[in-house]
Structure 1
Amino acid sequence: MSAQSLTAVLGPTNTGKTYMAMERLLGHRSGMIGFPLRLLARENYDKAVKAVGTEACALVTGEEKIVPRGARYFFCTVESMPLDRPVAFIAVDEIQLAADTERGHIFTDRLIRARGLDETMFMGSDAATPWVKLLAPGIEIVNRPRFSTLSYAGSKKITRLPPRSAIVAFSAADVYAIADLIRRQRGGTAIVMGALSPRTRNAQVDLYQAGEVDYLVATDAIGMGLNMNVGHVAFAALKKFDGRSLRALSRAEIGQIAGRAGRHMTDGTFGTTADVGPMDPDLIEAVENHRVDPIHFLMWRNAELDFRSVDGLLKSLDARPPHPGLVRQQEAIDHQSLAALARDDEIRALTLPKGRVALLWEVCQVPDFRKLMTDAHLRLLSQIFRHLAGGRGLAPGRIPTDWIADQMQRLDRIDGDIDYLTQRIAHIRTWSYIAQRSEWLSDAPHWQGRAQEIEDRLSDALHEALTQRFVDRRHAALHRRMVGGGKLDAVFGEDGSVTVEGHEVGILKGLEFFPAVDANAEEARPLLAAARRVLGPALRTRVSDLVASPDGDFKLAHDGAVTWRETPLARLVRGDQPLRPMVELKSIDLIDGRQRQAIQQRLRHWLERLLRHRLRPIFAAQSAKLEPAARGLVYQLGEGLGALSRESVRAQLAALSAPDRKALAALGVRIGAVTVWMGRLEDKRQRRLLGLLSALWHRLAVDAEGKPDPARLDAVGLEAWQMAGGKRVIAGKSYVFGELERLALGLREAATARTLSADETNAAKFNMTPDELGQTMRQLGLRATLPGGVRTPSRPKRGKQAKTAQAKPVQPRPVRPEPKLDPNSPFAALSALHDRLLAQERPAPRSAKRRRRQPRPAAAPKPDAT
């Protein structure tokens, strides 16, 4: 078929090639245009319907066929173009895909055979120029420049990409990971992948185009025909897995994808993410100047097929290409499926009747949208062919209604996650393709509608799942308004709720803002940023109110927490002195340094007045005019928080004069035999406050009741905390100071009268056991008479001697037997000589009258050594 006009419009993206083809199509009496994607065919079909009406337009794809009786303009996928229908105009888009290893032979066939009666047009990249000239002799090449400028913007972190950016990855896992990050940091993103149905993809694109999200994460599917308001394209990888190996992207692929940045006359930018790093300068120059590497080969497959036998069909598919630059297509799924099914003897037998080989080839062309290419897809093709050919006792002719109904029913479910929904959509698209073969089904229109209904329901569920997972509309709206520098409209509820731009962002309690999400999560950061913008005036008013509040608005809890009008505000911590704790303000992100300093100063003044009021006896004694000895004792009482053991201040007490003691007594200082304490601190609130101060000073953690954990206390800390609370523990029993003094007095009187012993009778007088009485005496430094007349020491013995108060009986040492000597040895002679010398030196026995001491005889000479 000759054509009066044969044109190739080639160039980079955003040159208006498709727009020009649509104008030429509608300018003819009839026409047909083939697109690389079902999505693009549907999009341009909808545009044509608005222009010339429904009856004049037809949509023909693998999964959809809308062909009115008087249709003049056909919008198709390249694979579904009905070339047997003569039309005045034919166009094929993205002709450079003739080099694709999976679908390239289809585009090559259209380049060679698709011709319109009046005009034929091919659109695509400059890379296809040599092949277009070779395979379409006499074609006119029209090069169109890009409307806008495309420039390199460098490498940036994903979280720092500008709004209206598209991030391109090459696997579903990477797309989801990037989308999760953007949702946490920027509020949300739309998703575009080849695995999405056109309905889901359009819904996601509309989400982006409507401005509900400012980012788009996509696979390389974005590179074809999606005209969106994208200002910047960022590559999250420069390599992709093409089904066989991980390879670098070509210049043409990078240029095709990067060219989506900018729209019509609006300039765009491209770059990489920080993980990828900067692009090579030569690559940058090539993309900016739209220089692409030429295509070195095109894929080809024989269109003149032999349907007389299965082997003849396979042989014709393996035919060599007519030109050395064409490469025989070997990876097409239909060809691989035919080769696999041909090894089944039953399938071969079913193809013997005339026309069955062509039927088998048609069945093998059922697409595998699930991308399985495993036994599952082959089993499906085998079952379809057996139903159509009448294998295994089945009636030939059509697919059983109950079988296809059962298959579709299994897919009519919207439960599961994104991956499950995506797989079901891919599967139902296969059944949509099957339903379009009206000769295979008894009621094809019904099953076409049924398949479309399920796909639409699954697509809507997938869009909802994607939006729910990757879009936080509240976060996105706040981020968009803040980036734009606009004023945020805020509403404060009576319960403290804060609503910004119609979205509830959290609750304001006192000076603290609680985000609507976990405060430690990344999602809380934009909420806090928005809160800072709108809460500034409200917080300034609250800080001023706090500083001017009376002391009664502040409360000190038993565990040291400070509240303002029931709102947690600060906590007491250890200071440089026991009576001077510090106030540590809570971490409040929404107040500045000056406001924090004003609050801390107000709390310090409140705390100082509270301590001086509650502990007035101690502060009054410290400010009284006293002599040095008395003043020193009062100082130590303040350091001991109102109580000291007498033993620790024995030297100071000895230095007190009678007037000193009288002055101290007037101030409430009581000097007992065991303890020295302030006698005017008996109020329960005072003792609880002193216990808290002691716990802070000794770094003891206390519970809500102000009690420390006994398991984590040492002896010093425990005794100090108990004395601050007005008690001392003796022999395991707790006594208030007055009770202990009375007990000590009674014990000392009994000890002085030598009537005290640790027996049952005396122990009962003091409501103790004998063992407790003995321990009490030892801790108080008293001597007690124990049973048997043994007296206890004034200080307990240490070590093993302290195990018992009873004296242990002395055990006699064993007497060693005298060694026996040989009477004939020299040692026996020496022993006899020694005995005689001792007898001479032994004094004579004393008489009744004292005798005059006799002089000691001279020592006997030592025996000769020989």
Structure 2
Amino acid sequence: MSDSTIKAVLGPTNTGKTHLAIERMCGHSSGMMGFPLRLLAREVYDRVRAIKGDKAVALITGEERIEPPDARYFCCTAEAMDRLGAGKDGPHAFVALDEAQIGADPERGHIFTDRLLNARGREETMILGSTTLEPLVRKLIPRAEMVERPRFSTLSHAGSCKLSRLPPRSAVVAFGTDQVYAMAEALRRFRGGAAVVMGALSPETRNKQVELFQNGEVDYIVATDAIGMGLNLDLHHVAFAGLSKFDGKRKRRLTPAEMGQIAGRAGRHQRDGTFGALSGMRDGKGTPAEFTDEEIYAIEEHRFAPLTHLFWREAEPRFDNLATLIADLEMKPDEPELRPAPEAIDLAVLKRLSEDPIADSVKGAGSVRRFWEACSLPDFRSVGAGVHASFVKRLWQDLREGYLGADFVAARIAELDRMQGDIDTLQGRIAAIRTWAYICQRPDWVLARDEMFARARAVEAKLSDALHARLTERFVNRRTSLLMKSLGQDGSALPVELAPDGTLTVDGELIGRLDGFRFAVAPDATVADRKMLLAAGEKALPALLAQRAQWLAGDGIGELTIGNGAILWGEHKLATIELSDDFGTARIAFVRELSALPEASRLSFEAALQNWLDIRLEPLEPLRKLAAAAQDPAAGSEARALLHTVIAGHGVVTREDAGLQHLPKEMRPFLRKLGVVFGALDIFAHALLKPAPRQLLHALGVDKQPLNEAMLPVLKDVKQAPAGYRPAGSQMIRVDLAEKIVRAAFDARAKATPEGGKPPKRFFFDTALPISIGLEADNVLRLLGSAGFKRFAAPALAEGVSGPATPDSWNWRPRRPGGNPQRRTQHNRGEQGKRGKRSSNQGKPQVRSAQPPRKPAHEPARASGAFDALRDLLG
């Protein structure tokens, strides 16, 4: 391959290096690219697959292997790529290594250094990395062609900024899990949430979190410094929550090159980016986390101190025995630009187990190689060399005898197939299942390898989904995030949906509910979210309220009712009703919530409600006639005064309170034509005693008396007389029926009066009518007693005499002013109970009703209004 070209394409971030390498690889007949992250390898795999087709492209990582039989293009992690850049048919035409400067990393650097020195394409080789790598490439690969690419966009320092004021599309870089979680929690409160990217997450979870940010569901991402390792994000700003990190040995300040690698993720292609620190943050020593002027200059100008060395470890050690293997792995390089790699965890495990009795079983080159492969199992669980060595020891005990049994591996996978638990629990299970996925993809470790690998990958995918859901649930308030992006839009464009039960949602997220025409914020909203939710609701309210008002004015008009002096929709008050004094007109006043209606909708809705109200008020037409007559000067002052009294009583007034003594008799026909009935006990408008007007008066709040909606003839067990009723002993009777009973009594008296003669002192009256209406016998006496009637009990039949009993007789005497009708009838109630005591006075009628109180001798007797009542009843 001496004729192949080697190009070192160096430059800062956002220079299109990876894009150039993809184009070059697709121009060759075959190719292989190595990447620092499985996530980046997967991204490039999808891009190349879209160009070359599924059958031509392979993805090979430590935990995943998608390799079609005819694959010609390979996207790999650096550890998984062939160290020489070769495939099963020999060297690939094109080979590229991305982020080659990672060769200076103490932990993984020796892998990248080996690929940089040895992986070569048959026709072309590309080394992609930072400009800090240039001096080392010139010395280690003298014939390499140096290609420096400028950054497409400008990167500038934006100063410090509070977390609550970060611009959208920002990344917060934190160091340590606790700080990542704290930043994400704060962004959830301030900005609706953030995606989370950490090295401890599984690649699938990181993919989903990155997608959450890339799709715009959240505008912020919180990440560790892993964000600088080739992750292509649509970032505008990178904010550092700290400038120091623990590198495995000590806590130190980031180098300017490391700062630039992270900050350079801001800006994409031609769009400029910014970086800065979060104000108020401090480093480990208590100093403010602020960039120095030198660091700002270096980052903005992409001028960093060149790398002075790369870490190296023998990539092809000898496997004669464990001692030889360890010696080769600890061998020092010959080149001054290379330094021996610090002891990695695989070497640490190997050295520990080489001192264990289990090492006695490792004999021969094949066994030593297999033992080294077991020790190279990645520590996905991050448990350290000691605990990890114990796991490898147990693994080797099984591998020493051949293969791991399928049943054993399936049982271990099934133990991890549980989606319950918090974030840390799921991360632990994912680390464990990644270990088993790595074991299962080895070609000579597990029986039924393909099936076991598929099971492990399926469980990892399920756990990754569960972890993504937990992270999103904890660190993303999707509702707030959606609203923050929507509030700047036109209110009519806000994607608010109104459900049949009144709930309001934005893209499926509950923001509140519409109770009638009143918007209420979702009850689970925090104090910080309430203002935003109210703003979102108010933006969408005009259109929603107009839609609701249009439906109510049409199909929903039947759901409206009147109550408490207002128009109601269910339990929701729409408008108050203001009646005029003459009941001729009614004006409606909308509640405050309807002020959000657009003007045109409000006027249309008001007209519809007014028309509906006018129809509903038709039962009050008799009252309107009375009110109109009360305003007519031709009616005379006395008639108008009586009409006002009847109107004030909402159609009913007792005779004593009517002031009939002032009404000329010639005015009564005029009033009767208006529907006024002059009864012995009450003056009333008969049309207003029907259920419809009584219910309407009560619903309008005009009549505050209790209401019997059905206006039943007689009520029992009622303490206060409802509107349109009068007391009758222990019962209440409707005033028109009370008048009917009293009229029947007067008719009976009139029939007993000889033509042209005087009315008899006593007459017979059948109480079948009041009893048929529902009055009890005692209460009949109380009602008739209030009209001046007294009952005289008939004598009982003599002993031994048979036949019908003599009916009781009645007498009527006009009530005197000041008389107490209730007291006059008290004796009547107990009269029947005393009948048994009359045997000694048979034949002598006993008066059991109280006599009206006598006037004092010095007070002249006055005629009672009962004569007028009798005259009214008899016409």
Q: Same fold (TM over 0.5)?
A: yes
Query: Shift of residue 20 of structure 1?
Result: 3.8
Query: Shift of residue 691 of structure 1?
Result: 1.7
517-526 or 755-764, which deviates more: 517-526
Query: Shift of residue 683 of structure 1?
Result: 0.8
Aligned pairs (5 A) from 1:141-160: 142-150=147-155
Query: Shift of residue 118 of structure 1?
Result: 9.0
Residue identity opposite 2:41 in structure 1: A
Aligned pairs (5 A) from 1:159-178: 165=169
Aligned counterparts of 2:414 and 2:83: Cα–Cα separation in 1:
35
Aligned counterparts of 2:544 and 2:732: Cα–Cα separation in 1:
57
Q: What is aligned with 1:803?
A: none
Q: Give the one of 384, 403, 408 matched to 1:403.
A: 408
| Total equivalences in the alignment | 725
Aligned counterparts of 1:674 and 1:555: Cα–Cα separation in 2:
39
Q: Give the one of 616, 621, 629 matched to 2:626.
A: 621
Q: Give the one of 671, 684, 693 matched to 2:700.
A: 693
Residue identity opposite 1:80 in structure 2: A
Query: Shift of residue 96 of structure 1?
Result: 4.0
The answer to whether the Cα contact below 8 Å between 1:505 and 1:527 also exists between their aligned partners in 2 is: no
Aligned counterparts of 2:12 and 2:4: Cα–Cα separation in 1:
27
Aligned pairs (5 A) from 1:409-808: 409-410=414-415, 426-442=431-447, 444=449, 447-448=452-453, 451=456, 542=550, 546=553, 556=561, 562=567, 571=574, 573=576, 575=578, 582-584=588-590, 587=593, 591-604=597-610, 606-607=612-613, 610-611=616-617, 613-624=618-629, 625=632, 631=640, 634-635=643-644, 638=647, 641-643=650-652, 653=659, 656-658=662-664, 662=668, 667=674, 678-694=685-701, 723=722, 725-727=723-725, 733-737=731-735, 743=782, 746-747=785-786, 749=788, 762-764=828-830
The answer to whether the Cα contact below 8 Å between 1:756 and 1:785 also exists between their aligned partners in 2 is: no
CA deviation profile, 1:796-818 (whole Å, cap 9, x unmatched): xxxxxxxxxxxxxxxxxxxxxxx
Aligned counterparts of 1:326 and 1:696: Cα–Cα separation in 2:
101
Residue identity opposite 1:435 in structure 2: C
Q: What is aligned with 2:300?
A: 289
The answer to whether the Cα contact below 8 Å between 1:627 and 1:660 also exists between their aligned partners in 2 is: no
CA deviation profile, 1:414-462 (whole Å, cap 9, x unmatched): 8999998876655443223223432333555565556556667877898
The answer to whether the Cα contact below 8 Å between 1:236 and 1:275 also exists between their aligned partners in 2 is: no
Q: What is aligned with 1:77?
A: 77
Per the alignment, do residues 375 and 655 of structure 1 end up closer, same or farther by CA in structure 2, a change over 3 Å counting? farther
Taking structure 1 as the reference length, the TM-score comes to 0.59
Q: What is aligned with 1:823?
A: none
CA deviation profile, 1:287-324 (whole Å, cap 9, x unmatched): 98354765899885754989899899889989999999
Query: Shift of residue 746 of structure 1?
Result: 1.0
677-686 or 359-368, which deviates more: 359-368
Query: Shift of residue 736 of structure 1?
Result: 3.2
Q: What is aligned with 1:387?
A: 398
The answer to whether the Cα contact below 8 Å between 1:158 and 1:274 also exists between their aligned partners in 2 is: no
The answer to whether the Cα contact below 8 Å between 1:212 and 1:476 also exists between their aligned partners in 2 is: no
Per the alignment, do residues 196 and 529 of structure 1 end up closer, same or farther by CA in structure 2, a change over 3 Å counting? farther
Query: Shift of residue 655 of structure 1?
Result: 9.1
CA deviation profile, 1:487-522 (whole Å, cap 9, x unmatched): 9999999x999xx9x99999xx9x98999x999999
Per the alignment, do residues 593 and 338 of structure 1 end up closer, same or farther by CA in structure 2, a change over 3 Å counting? farther
Matched residue of 1:556: which SS?
Answer: strand
Residue identity opposite 2:828 in structure 1: N
Query: Shift of residue 387 of structure 1?
Result: 1.1
Aligned counterparts of 2:731 and 2:350: Cα–Cα separation in 1:
96
Q: What is aligned with 1:365?
A: 376
Matched residue of 1:145: which SS?
Answer: coil
CA deviation profile, 1:534-575 (whole Å, cap 9, x unmatched): 998x889x59x95xx8999795356777589xx999645475
Query: Shift of residue 399 of structure 1?
Result: 2.2
Aligned pairs (5 A) from 1:207-222: 219=223
Residue identity opposite 1:762 in structure 2: N
Aligned counterparts of 2:703 and 2:340: Cα–Cα separation in 1:
85
Query: Shift of residue 384 of structure 1?
Result: 0.7
Aligned counterparts of 1:660 and 1:198: Cα–Cα separation in 2:
104
Matched residue of 2:689: which SS?
Answer: coil
The answer to whether the Cα contact below 8 Å between 1:152 and 1:270 also exists between their aligned partners in 2 is: yes
Query: Which 5+ residue runs of structure 1 have no aligned equivalent?
Result: 390-395, 707-714, 768-782, 787-866
Query: Shift of residue 682 of structure 1?
Result: 0.7
Aligned counterparts of 2:343 and 2:591: Cα–Cα separation in 1:
70
The answer to whether the Cα contact below 8 Å between 1:318 and 1:328 also exists between their aligned partners in 2 is: yes
The answer to whether the Cα contact below 8 Å between 2:651 and 2:685 also exists between their aligned partners in 1 is: yes
Per the alignment, do residues 572 and 415 of structure 1 end up closer, same or farther by CA in structure 2, a change over 3 Å counting? same
The answer to whether the Cα contact below 8 Å between 2:785 and 2:824 also exists between their aligned partners in 1 is: no
Query: Shift of residue 403 of structure 1?
Result: 1.4
Aligned pairs (5 A) from 1:218-233: 219=223, 223-227=228-232, 230=234, 232=236
Per the alignment, do residues 602 and 127 of structure 1 end up closer, same or farther by CA in structure 2, a change over 3 Å counting? same
Taking structure 2 as the reference length, the TM-score comes to 0.58
CA deviation profile, 1:236-295 (whole Å, cap 9, x unmatched): 96689869899998765665456455544455677899999xx97979965983547658
Aligned pairs (5 A) from 1:67-216: 75-83=75-83, 91-98=96-103, 102-104=107-109, 106-107=111-112, 121-126=126-131, 142-150=147-155, 165=169
Query: Which 5+ residue runs of structure 2 have no aligned equivalent?
Result: 282-288, 712-717, 743-781, 791-814, 834-848, 853-875
Matched residue of 1:440: which SS?
Answer: coil
Residue identity opposite 1:438 in structure 2: P
Query: Shift of residue 692 of structure 1?
Result: 1.4
Residue identity opposite 1:599 in structure 2: F
Q: What is aligned with 1:793?
A: none
The answer to whether the Cα contact below 8 Å between 1:183 and 1:472 also exists between their aligned partners in 2 is: no
Residue identity opposite 1:726 in structure 2: G
Aligned counterparts of 2:341 and 2:577: Cα–Cα separation in 1:
81
Query: Shift of residue 689 of structure 1?
Result: 1.1
Between the two proteins, what is the percent identity of the paired residues? 34
Residue identity opposite 1:736 in structure 2: R
The answer to whether the Cα contact below 8 Å between 2:576 and 2:590 also exists between their aligned partners in 1 is: yes
The answer to whether the Cα contact below 8 Å between 1:583 and 1:603 also exists between their aligned partners in 2 is: no
Aligned counterparts of 2:127 and 2:676: Cα–Cα separation in 1:
108
- RMSD across aligned C-alpha pairs, in angstroms? 7.2
The answer to whether the Cα contact below 8 Å between 1:12 and 1:290 also exists between their aligned partners in 2 is: no
Query: Shift of residue 145 of structure 1?
Result: 1.0
Per the alignment, do residues 644 and 687 of structure 1 end up closer, same or farther by CA in structure 2, a change over 3 Å counting? same
